[in-house]
Amino acid sequence: MALPLSQMKTGQKGVVIQIAGGRGLNSRLAALGIRIGHEVTKVSSMLMAGPVVVKVGNTEIALGFGMAQKIIVEVNE
């Protein structure tokens, strides 16, 4: 099931399948280690807005809510 990173449940894992943004967003996320095909785990988030914390490999990254909405993830059930 594909859904935005911001809508994943805490502790859920998934693989990035699409980044719905321009070159700037893609390059920023690539610098953070978030690329298409990489697995991410949602660590925590705030309700409706605020930072979304994800784990990529051994690194935890805090993303803005708007940025997290543009990352489409195939969730592992």
Which residue in the block uniquely carries the two structure tokens 């894992």?
13
Distance CA 62, CA 53 (A): 4
pLDDT one digit per residue (tens) for the chain, 77 residues? 999 999 999 999 999 999 998 999 999 999 999 999 999 999 998 877 889 999 999 999 999 999 999 999 999 87
Q: What integer pLDDT is reported at residue 73 of this predicted model? A: 97
Number of domains, the chain? 1
CATH number at residue 30: 2.30.30.90
Domain extent for 16: 2-75
Which H or E run contains 65?
helix 65-69
Six-digit token pair at 47?
Answer: 């309700």
